[in-house]
Chain A
Amino acid sequence: MIRFSQVTFAYPNQAPLFQDFDWQVEAGEAWAVIGPSGCGKSTLLYLVAGLRQPNAGQILVDGRPVPRPRASTGLVLQDFGLLPWATVWENVALVMRIGQFYRRKHTPPDAPRPYPRPDIAPAQVDRWLARLGIADQRDKYPGQISGGQRQRVAIARSLLQQPNLLLMDEPFSSLDALTREDLQRLTLELRQETGVTTVIVTHNIEEAVYLGRRILLLGRAPNTVARVVENPGAGALDFRRQLAYQEKCTELRTLLAEESGEPKK
C-alpha cells in the first residue's frame, strides 16, 4: 500500500528528517507511528498524503507516486481541520461539494486530478453522520460542539471518501481521557467494518499499542532505518485489559527512552 524507497526529506534550510529511508506498509495493516516531537512523524504522514514531496527517493502509494493528494486517502488531523464556517453536515460533505464545484467548472475528463467524486451521494453523508453518532449535530458549527464530536466529524468526513488508506495525525491528543478511549475504540470498530489501511501518528504510548498492530519507531532526525515493533495483539476491543498490552507498553517505553538517550526508571 505504501512503499518508501531511499526517501530523503528536509524542510528548506533545515537538517533532513529522513535520509535514505525505507518503509513498507501492506494493504489492510494497522500502523502506529511514535517518536519524540520533532522527529518527523507528521511530516511522514504529509509525505504519504501527497502534501509534501521527497527531496530524493520515491514514495509509492497503491503502486503510484503521489505528486498530489489522492482521492482514496483520508486524512484526520489533531485540530483545526474543520471549516469553522461550515455546519457539521457541510463539513462531512466537503469531498462531495468540492466534486460538485469542479464538475460545474467542466474539468476535462482526462485531467490528472482523480476528483470529482460523482459516486458520493448525500445519503452517504447522512449514513456516516448516523454511524459516528453525530446526526443530531448536523446543523451546528464546529465551534458549537465538543472536541470529541469535532473529531467524529473529521473521521466521518474522511470515511465519506471511501478511502483505502486512512492517515491520522495525533487525532485524539487534545481530548480528555474518556473521550479519547471512546474514539480509539470507535477507530478499531471502523477499521474492522471497512478494512481500511490505517497509519496513526501519536506521541502516546498507550494509543500506539492499542491501535497499532505494527508500530514504527522514529528517533531523532535524521531517520535512516525503519524500526518496527510487532504488536499482534492489537485490534481486540478489550486489548487494554490484557497482560500483553501492559507488556507491550513497557517494551515500547523502554525503546523510546533508549531512543531519546536518557533512560527513565
Chain B
Amino acid sequence: MRRRELLLATINLLIVWQLLAWLLRIAVLPGPLAVAQVFGRELLRGLGWHFLVSAWRVIASIVIATALAVPAGLVLGQSQRLNRLFAPLIYILYPIPKIVFLPIILLFLGIGDTSKVFIIFLILFFPILVVVRDQASALRPELIYSVRSLGAGRRALFRFVYLPATVPAALTALRVSIGTAVAVLFFAESFATTSGLGYYIIVESWGRLAYEEMYVGVIAMSALGLLLYFVVDRLERRLAPWMFARDR
C-alpha cells in the first residue's frame, strides 16, 4: 500500500465523518475538527499516559506470546512424537474463547497489568503456536535432506530451515490477531482499573457524558491498533523479503 493512498483514504473518512456531524447536528456526534482540538488538549492532560499504558500492555503480551509460541511451535513441528502428545490438548484449547476466562484471571492475578497482559497473551499464543507448528511440519523432506547433506545438525536445521520457514507465518498470525488483542485490551481496561485507553473511554469520558473526549479515546485506541499493524507489516517486509520479491 502506498503512503499517498493511505493518506487519501484517511482524508475520505474524515470528510464523511464531518458531513455526518453537520447533517445530524447532535451532541453525541461531534465533528473531527472539534475532536481534534480536544485531542490536542487531552494529550497533555493524561491521554498520552493512558496511551502508553495500553501500548505497554499489548506490546508486552505480543513479545511474551511470540517468545513462547514460536519455539514451542518449532519443537512440535519437527517432533512427531511430541506433537502427537500435545495435539489433542491444543485442539481443545485453541477454539475456547479465552476472553471468558477474564473474571477468573482477575481473581487469580488481580486487577493490575499482569491480568491484562496475561489474557492478551493467551489470545495471541494459540494462533501463533498452531501456525508455526503446521508450517514447520509441512516442510519438504527434500529440503531437510539437502541441508543435512551439507553438514547441518539439529541446531543448524533450526537456524537455516525451521526458523526462516516459519517467520512469515508467525507474523501473519500476529497481524491477524492484533485486532482481537486490542479489542480484548479495551474490554479488560473498561473496568477494574484506573489507567489505559479503555478506562479513559468508558470511565473518564462515556461515564461523564464527555462526548468529545470519548471520540478522542476511540481515535487513540484505533491509532494504537493501526500502529501495531504497521509495525508488524514492516517487520514482515524486513524479516521475510523473499515473500515480496517479484521478477523484475
Contact = CB atoms under 8 A, between A and B. Distances in A.
Contacts of A101: 155-156, 159-160
Given A51-B148, A140-B245, A144-B245, A83 B153 contact: no
Say whether chain A's binding surface is mostly helix, strand, loop, or mixed.
Answer: loop
Interface in A15-65: 46, 49-51
B5 interface: no
B155 A75 contact: no
A10 to B, nearest CB: 18
Interface residues of A, number: 40
Contact of A95 (B150, B164, B167): B150
A84 B155 CA distance: 19
Main secondary structure of the interface of B (DSSP, over half): helix
B145 A141 contact: no
A49 B92 CA distance: 42
Interface stretch (A108-116, A127-135, A192-200, A202-210): A108-116
B91 to A, nearest CB: 26
Contact of A114 (B151, B165, B246): B151
A154 B151 CA distance: 15
A138 interface: no
B147 interface: yes
B164 A77 contact: no
A79 to B, nearest CB: 7
Contacts of A154: 146
Nearest to B144: A51
B149 A94 contact: no
A69 B245 contact: no
Interface string A69-107: 101011111111111111000000011011101100100
Interface in B229-248: 240, 242, 245-247
Contacts of B245: 140-141, 143-144
B156 A98 contact: yes
Interface string B13-31: 0000000000000000000
B150 A85 contact: no
B143 interface: yes
Given A83-B160, A101-B156, A77 B150 contact: no
A71 B148 CA distance: 10
Contacts of B153: 102, 113
Nearest to A116: B151
B138 to A, nearest CB: 12
A16 to B, nearest CB: 21
B150 A143 contact: no
B156 A102 contact: yes
Nearest to B151: A115
A152 interface: no
Contacts of B242: 84-86, 141, 143
A117 interface: yes
Contact of B142 (A69, A77, A97): A77
B229 to A, nearest CB: 23
A175 B103 CA distance: 61
Interface string B117-152: 000000000000000000000001011011111111
A83 B164 contact: yes
Contacts of A73: 149
A143 B242 CA distance: 8
A179 B108 CA distance: 67
Given A85-B165, A143-B245, A157 B150 contact: yes
A143 B248 CA distance: 12
